[in-house]
């Protein structure tokens, strides 16, 4: 972990007196605010922002943060205000569009993706001049109708499905023909023709692809990038659309659960540099580059703080659950976990020696397992603190109220101070008046 001010460590780490994040003792935080809760290090987000700027230095690049990874308004505002490099946002719902606009992202630096955009969502994007990534022909029909009714020019991207296997988990793979995302080449050609036939209503601003998340084998990503550049060359060769950008998507990986260090963002920026340098058309070489990092920017910044309720044989029952962090239950994701403990019995990563434990939550599901076969050199004690690491992405944003559990608080550590950036949800009793009157529906 990179050192912070005065040589201190940034992010989550263990010291003899417990678990720390940056220069904040998490036991003190947990006693004051309760658990479970999310804790984020702004220093780690800043580290990632600066690393990204360095990796893409010299390129005309617009990074669009994938808001689905972590949509906390304060984190969005911080990314939007980054001065080293101007950031846009990749949104997949009208809610994310509104959050992005409220956080200070410019409408002309936003991209609206997703396979099931509804009429009201498209209407907002057209009205604000936000680029819409078209993913179906029926969606293109809706855009044409809305743009004509508003008398506005709709700015479009076309998302192509390259039918390339990203060699990642099937549930986060998006670039195969069997996945629901993007246009097949046949559909892409039809959409391109329809756009060129309606220049008063539609403007093709760019083309894009995204083959999946957490990509550790870069060869498929390289093949998709090459295919996209060749597609831009083909469009320019026909002399039709004057493209503004080429969007390579995201999928930059992070390290989970003691895994080997995955390919760095510098590898992906190098692939983009080589792909653009190899373009056949000068118009393609001049295109603005768009990329869509989400997980990579925020995952390592966040941890889910929890306390041990008790230990039953190999089961360590904690107060966090799948309602706060569903990734392990949803697709077998593994997060590194560290425990506060006696300094003579230090917690070690989950691949250490010792007895294997199941870290489980209180939700009434057998799938409520946060970490499996965890190897630690001590038996966790009641009320002992622990943190599930690399939880800054797809943690809170995927949380739920299952079992009527409240959504947890979120805290941001900035300049060695702790700020509550989302309070713990207060679940109220149902409104007894809701059943008083039936809806007046036509027969």
In the chain, what percentage of residues exceed pLDDT 70? 90
In the chain, what percentage of residues exceed pLDDT 90? 68
pLDDT digits 0-9 by tens, 239-293 = 767 899 999 998 899 998 666 788 999 999 999 999 999 999 999 999 999 999 9
Report the distance separating Cα 342 and Cα 384, nearest Å: 10
What pLDDT band is residue 210 in, cutting at 50, 70 and 90?
confident
What pLDDT band is residue 429 in, cutting at 50, 70 and 90?
confident
Q: Which of 40, 100, 147, 95 is nearest to 409 (CA)?
A: 40
Among 53-67, 141-155, 227-241, 311-325, where is mean pLDDT lowest?
227-241
pLDDT digits 0-9 by tens, 18-29 = 999 999 999 999
State yes or no: pLDDT of 167 exceeds 60: no
Residues identified as active-site: 364
Whether the Cβ atoms of residue 126 and residue 112 lie closer than 8 Å to each other: no
Query: What pLDDT is attached to residue 352?
Result: 44
Output the CA–CA distances (angstroms, integers) from residue 302 to 52, 70, 111, 235, 425, in the order listed. Answer: 18, 10, 25, 42, 19
Looking at the DSSP assignment, which residues form a beta bridge with residue 156?
132, 204
Query: What pLDDT is attached to residue 342?
Result: 43
Q: Residue 403 has which token pair?
A: 């079992």
Handedness of CA 91, 95, 101, 107 (dihedral sign): positive
Give 283: exposed, middle or buried? Use CB within 10 Å, 0-12, 13-18, 19+: middle
Query: What pLDDT is attached to residue 239?
Result: 79
Whether the Cβ atoms of residue 392 and residue 70 lie closer than 8 Å to each other: yes
Please give the average per-residue pLDDT across 367-376, as a whole number: 89
What pLDDT band is residue 202 in, cutting at 50, 70 and 90?
very high
Give 163: exposed, middle or buried? Use CB within 10 Å, 0-12, 13-18, 19+: middle
Ranges of beta strands (E only) in 258-354 are 288-291, 302-312, 315-318, 337-339
Please give the average per-residue pLDDT across 232-236, as a whole number: 93
Query: What pLDDT is attached to residue 258?
Result: 65
Whether the Cβ atoms of residue 385 and residue 307 lie closer than 8 Å to each other: yes
Single pTM value for the model: 0.90
Query: What pLDDT is attached to residue 360?
Result: 97
Please give the average per-residue pLDDT across 51-68, as a whole number: 97
Report the distance separating Cα 119 and Cα 319, nearest Å: 41
All domains of the chain in start order, with CATH: 5-41+299-422 (2.40.37.10), 43-298 (3.20.20.10)
Query: What pLDDT is attached to residue 238?
Result: 87
Query: What pLDDT is attached to residue 378?
Result: 77
């Amino acid at each position: 972990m990179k050192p912070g001010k005065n040589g201190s460590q940034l992010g989550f780490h263990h010291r003899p007196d417990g678990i720390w994040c940056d220069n904040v003792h998490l036991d003190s935080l947990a006693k004051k605010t309760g658990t479970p809760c999310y804790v984020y290090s702004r220093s780690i987000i800043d580290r990632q922002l600066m690393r990204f700027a360095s990796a893409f230095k010299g390129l005309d690049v617009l990074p669009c943060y994938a808001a689905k990874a972590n949509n906390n308004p304060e984190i969005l505002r911080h990314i939007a205000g980054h001065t080293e490099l101007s950031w846009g946002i990749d949104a997949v719902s009208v809610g994310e569009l509104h959050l992005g606009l409220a956080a200070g992202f410019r409408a002309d630096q936003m991209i609206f993706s997703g396979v099931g955009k509804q009429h009201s969502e498209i209407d907002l994007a057209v009205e604000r001049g936000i680029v819409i990534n078209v993913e179906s022909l029926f969606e293109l029909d809706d855009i044409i109708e809305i743009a004509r009714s508003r008398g506005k020019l709709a700015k479009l991207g076309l998302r192509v499905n390259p039918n390339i296997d990203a060699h990642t988990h099937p549930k986060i793979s998006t670039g195969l023909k069997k996945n629901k995302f993007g246009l097949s080449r046949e559909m892409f050609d039809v959409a391109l023709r329809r756009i060129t036939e309606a220049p008063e209503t539609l403007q093709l601003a760019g083309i894009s692809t995204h083959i999946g998340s957490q990509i550790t084998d870069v060869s498929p990503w390289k093949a998709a990038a090459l295919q996209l550049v060749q597609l831009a060359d083909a469009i320019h060769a026909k002399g039709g659309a004057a493209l503004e950008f080429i969007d390579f998507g995201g999928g930059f990986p992070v390290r989970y659960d003691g895994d080997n260090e995955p390919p760095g963002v510098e590898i992906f920026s190098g692939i983009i540099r080589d792909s653009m340098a190899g373009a056949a058309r000068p118009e393609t070489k001049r295109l603005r580059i768009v990329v869509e990092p989400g997980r990579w920017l925020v995952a390592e910044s966040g941890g889910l703080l929890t306390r041990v309720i008790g230990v039953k044989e190999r089961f360590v029952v904690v107060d966090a659950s799948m309602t706060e962090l569903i990734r392990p239950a949803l697709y077998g994701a593994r997060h590194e976990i560290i425990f506060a403990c006696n300094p003579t019995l230090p917690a070690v990563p989950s691949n250490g020696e010792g007895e294997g434990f199941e870290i489980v939550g209180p939700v009434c599901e057998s799938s409520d397992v946060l970490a499996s076969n965890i190897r630690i050199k001590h038996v966790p004690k009641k009320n002992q603190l622990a943190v599930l690491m690399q939880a800054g992405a797809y943690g809170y944003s995927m949380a739920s109220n299952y079992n009527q559990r409240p959504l947890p608080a979120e805290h941001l550590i900035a300049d060695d101070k702790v700020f509550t950036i989302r309070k713990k949800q207060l679940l109220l009793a149902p409104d007894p008046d809701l059943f008083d009157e039936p809806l007046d529906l036509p027969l």
